[in-house]
Amino acid sequence: MLFGHISQPNPCRLPAAIEKALDFLRTTDFRTLEPGVVEIEGRTIFAQILDLTTRPREEQKPEVHRQYLDIQFMAWGEEEIGIAIDTGNNVIAENLLDQRDIIFYQASENESFFEMVPGSYAIFFPQDVHRPACNKYRATPIRKIVVKVAISALN
């Protein structure tokens, strides 16, 4: 996982596909867009604009992806996200890899939580179990953008 704030320059070079996704996040006014999907580079890089309400941790399932990495960006609101390395020991609650490139776990081993505030982003790779949209203090409306970047585009 990588964590940062969109206003801060990245001190190291990231793969071009990730830089393209971050540039989209830096230059897009998300107040003018409706929830839905925006193609950045076809199905190789695309954004999901989501209006959600956070929920208690125990109501959110940890998840992983195999074909895409997630760049989760907080446009407004605040949330906590759980993070852990996928050890292979987590019990699968639902496997939707073929339909949506997602596996939901019942719980996540060795999970830690961090806060997302407006402008912050987190990049989750296939080995990163993450539990997004958790309450920081209480249920909160948020707008987050999840940019999906195909792992095959990172070469």
Q: What is the pLDDT of residues 10-44, one digit of tens each?
A: 778 899 999 999 999 999 999 999 999 999 999 99
DSSP-derived secondary structure letter, 12: S
What pLDDT is stored for residue 9 in this prediction? 81
Integer Cα distance of 104 and 95 in angstroms:
6
- In degrees and rounded to multiples of 5, residue 15 shows phi and psi of -55, 145
60-78 pLDDT, tens digit each: 999 999 999 999 999 999 9
What pLDDT is stored for residue 75 in this prediction? 98
For residue 98, is pLDDT > 80? yes
What pLDDT is stored for residue 12 in this prediction? 85
What pLDDT is stored for residue 70 in this prediction? 97
For residue 93, is pLDDT > 80? yes
Query: Looking at domain 2-154, which CATH architecture does it have?
Result: Sandwich (2.60)
CB neighbourhood size of 94 (10 A)? 12
For residue 105, is pLDDT > 80? yes
Sheet holding 141-150, edge to edge: 2-5, 120-124, 68-76, 141-150, 45-53, 36-41
The C-alpha torsion from 103 through 143 and 26 to 41, rounded to 10°, is 50
Q: pLDDT confidence of 120, banded at 50, 70, 90?
A: very high
Task: Please compute the mean of the pLDDT values over residues 91-111 and round it to a whole number.
Answer: 96
What pLDDT is stored for residue 32 in this prediction? 96
Sorted by where each begins, the domain ranges of the chain are: 2-154
Tokens of 78: 């605040």
For residue 108, is pLDDT > 90? yes
